[in-house]
Structure 1
Amino acid sequence: MDVSIIIPVYKVEKYITRCIQSIMNQSCKNIQIECIIIDDCTPDASIDIVNGVLSDYKGDVKFIILRHEKNSGLSAARNTGIKASTGRYLMFVDSDDYITDDAVSKLWNAHLTYQHAELIVATYYSVKDSCPFDNGIDKQTLVDGKRLRKMLMNYQVTCNACWRLIPRELIINNNLFFTPGLLYEDILWCHRLFALVESAVVLPDVVYYYENNPNSITNTTKEKAIRSVRSYAYNCDEMLKKPYKDVYVDHQLYVLTFLMRALDTRRDYKVRGEVSKKLNDVRFRLVRSTLSEGRLLLGLFFLITYQPLYSLFSCRWFRSHYYMLESFIRHRANFLDSIFHRNN
C-alpha cells in the first residue's frame, strides 16, 4: 500500500458516518490506500454504523476493522493501527473529524514532487471557529528541519498528528509510538517526530476538518483535571529532557505555554497532592535548565510561573498582554542568542 489511514473509534456514533464517507470519497485512482479502523471497545453503535456504511462500498480503498479486547485509549488504538499498517506512509484521522475529497492526493502529490522530504504537512479547517488555520505559507514550500521546528515552536505548524503524511519507516525505526494513558499525546509525539525530520514540505491547503466534539477528552471537566495536569507535566518534562538546541529560545517558550496551561488547570480545579508536586518540579526544571544554558533574560521571564507574578498574570488584563510580552522576550532572547551562543 502507498498510504495507510488510521482511525480509532470510540463513542462517535454522531460523527462516524461523515468520517468514513470522507475516506470513501478520496479522488486518487493511482494511489493504493488502506483504512484501518480500530474499535476501542466503543459502547455505542459506532461500529455497527461503520459496517452499515461499508456494506455496499465498491471503491478502491481497502477497509480493515480491528477490535481491542478492552478499552485502551486513543494512543493505544493509534499504535495498534501503526503496527497493522502496510502503507509506506501513514495518515491519522480522528473519528469525529473528516478529510477533504482530495486530501490524500494533495499530500501524495507533494510527496512525489519532493520525494526526499520526510514529512508532508498541510493545514485544517476549524468547524467550531468557521475558519482555516493559517500556517503563514502561501504556496507549497520545502523547509529544512530547523525551520520546521521553529514553525512548530511559533505555532505556524500545529502539534497534531493529523493533516499530514508521515513515513511508516520513520515511525517504526525510531520506535515513535504514542504514549498510552497520556492526554494531549500529540504534543510529545510531534515534538519527538520533528526532532528526527531533516526536511519537510509545508502546504497552505486545507485537507482536514476539525470538529470540536463536546465529548472529546480535550474538553476538560473536573474529573479530567488531575489527568490533564499530570499529562501536561509529563509532556513538559519529556520535552525539557531533549530540547531543540537549534531553536533553543523558541523551544523553552513553547514548553512554557503548556506549563502555563497546567498551572491554570491546577488553579481552576484546585488540584493538589503528588500531581501538583510533579508540576512544581517541572516548573523548577524549566527555570534551572534555562539559566544553566546562560539565558538570563529567559530565566527571569519564567519567574512568571511563580507567585506573586503568577497571580498578576492570572488577571485578565495582564493575560491579554501576555503574548505581546512573550513576543518581545522571544525576539530579544533570540537576538542575544545569536550574539553569545550561535558559535558555541
Structure 2
Amino acid sequence: IGKMFSIIIPVYNVEQYLDKCLKSISKQTFLDFECIIVDDGSPDNSNAIIDKYVNKDQRFKVIHQKNMGLSAARNTGLDAAKGDYIAFVDSDDYIANDYLEKFVLKIASSNADIIICGIIEVFKNYENSRVFANATTEVIKQNIFADPWPSFVWNKCYKKELFDNVRFPVGKAFEDLLTIPEVCLNANKIVCIPDKLYYYNRQNVSSITAKMSVEKIYNLFEGHLKSRQLAILHNINCSKLLDEKMVKEVIKCLLINCYDNKLSEIHEQIMLDYLKERLDKSEIDGIRERFWVKMLLAKRKKLCAWYAHIRGK
C-alpha cells in the first residue's frame, strides 16, 4: 500500500546520532509516511537502535545490505520506496516535528514537484540557520545549478517520478551535487518555504565534507562540470558563477595533486582542458587566477616540483 511520503535514511556507523534522528521521524505530526532505513553494512551498534523502531512502529522498515557507500544505500531506498513523494534524511541529522506537515500544506497549495525548506546547521556550541527565498522555478534552478544554494538532497521533498531515470553515482563524494541538478531539470515547478525544518549536524567528523582530499576536490569539480554542461544544454544561465568556483577548484586540485599524486593523468587532462578553454575564451576573472592558470598550462611540471618541495618541508 502506497504512502504519501517515503523517507529514506542511509545508515553506516552512526550509533551516536541515530536514535535522535529516528525519534524525530517517529514524532512527525503528519502520519502518512513510510521510513525506509538502509543499513549499509554498519559494524557498530546501529542495528540495535534500528530494531527498536522497526519492532514498535510498522511505518519503519529496514533493508540490510553489504557496505557499498552512501549513494548505493540511497539508491536501494529509492528502489523500495512506495510513496508519492520522497524525502531524504541523513542518519546523523534530524527534522522538526512538523517537517512533513509543512511540506504537505505547500504541496496542497502549489502542486509543486520539489519543495525546499530552510535548514539549521548544528555546531558544537552554536547554531546557524539558513532559509531560501521563494522565487520563480527558473531562478531556483539557476541557484541550485550555480551552487550558491547548496544542492543538498536532504532539505527537499520530491515527487517520486523525478527519480524514475536518475540514481546517485556509486563511489563518488559529493553525490548530491552529481544528482540533484539533474533531478531539478525534471521538475516543472519548484517552491521554497521559509520554515527551518531540517537540522544539519556539523559535528560529525567522519562525514564526507569534514575532510577534503584531492579526490574529493576532483569530485566537487566533476559535479560542477556536469551542472555546467546540463545548464548550457537546457539554457540555464549560471555558467559565469560556476566558472568562478570551478577555476579555483581546479587550481587547488592540480596543485595539491603535485604533492599527493593521486589523480589519474586522464583526470588531470580534463581539468587542464577546462582551464585552457576558459583562458582561450577570456573567461577567467582576477589577475591571481590568470597567473596560476597560465603557469599550470605552460610550466606545470616545474611548478609541481616546486610545490611538492614546498609542501614536503
* Superposition TM-score, scaled by structure 2 size: 0.82
CA distance in 2, matches of 1:198, 1:123: 21
| Stretch deviating more after TM superposition (301-310 or 159-168) | 301-310
* Aligned residue identity for 1:71: N
Count of residue correspondences: 288
Alignment of 1:188-337 (within 5 A): 188-212=178-202, 213-220=204-211, 225-244=213-232, 246-248=235-237, 250-261=238-249, 263-268=251-256, 270-272=259-261, 274-275=263-264, 278-285=267-274, 288=277, 296=282, 299-301=283-285, 305=289, 307-308=291-292
Residue aligned with 2:192, SS: strand
Q: Which range moves more in the overlay, 225-234 or 189-198?
A: 225-234
Paired amino acid for 1:218: T
* 1:177-226 C-alpha deviation (Å, 9 max, x unpaired): 100001011112122122222321111111100001111122226xxx24
Consecutive aligned runs of 4 or more in structure 1 exceeding 4 Å deviation: 153-156, 289-292, 302-306
Contact 2:254 2:268 in 1 (8 A): no
Query: Aligned-pair distance for 1:49?
Result: 1.5
State the AA in 2 paired with 1:272: N
Label 1:153 to 1:163 Cα distance change in 2 as closer, same or farther (>3 A).
same
Q: Counterpart in 1 of 2:137?
A: 145
* SS of residue in 2 equivalent to 1:49: helix
- Give the conservation status (yes or no) of the 8 Å contact 2:9–2:88: yes
Equivalent position amino acid for 2:5 in 1: V
Q: Is 1:168–2:160 an aligned residue pair?
A: yes
Q: 2:96 aligns with which of 88, 91, 100?
A: 100
Asked if the contact 1:9–1:38 (Cα under 8 Å) also holds between the matched residues in 2, the reply is yes
Distance across 2 between alignment mates of 1:261 and 1:184: 14
Q: TM-score, normalised by structure 1?
A: 0.75
CA distance in 2, matches of 1:219, 1:266: 21
Structure 1 gap segments, 5+ residues each: 312-344
Aligned counterpart for 1:75 among listed residues 44, 53, 71: 71
Q: Which stretch of structure 1 is more off in the superposition, 156-165 or 35-44? A: 156-165
Where structure 2 has 5 or more consecutive residues not aligned to the other structure, the ranges are 296-313
Shift of 1:123: 1.5
Among candidates 53, 61, 80, match of residue 64 of structure 1: 61
Task: Using the TM superposition, give the Cα deviation of residue 305 of structure 1 relative to its aligned residue in structure 2, in angstroms.
Answer: 4.5
Identity %: 25
Change (3 A) 1:190 1:256: farther
Q: Quick check: 1:130 aligned with 2:131?
A: no
Aligned to 1:179, the other structure's residue is in SS state coil
- Is the 1:13–1:49 contact (alpha carbons within 8 Å) kept by the matching residues of 2? yes
Whichever residue aligns with residue 163 of structure 1, its letter is N
Q: Is contact 1:92-1:161 (8 Å) kept?
A: yes
How large is the Cα RMSD of the aligned pairs? 2.7
Deviation at residue 157 of structure 1 after TM alignment: 3.1
Counterpart of 1:326 in structure 2 is none
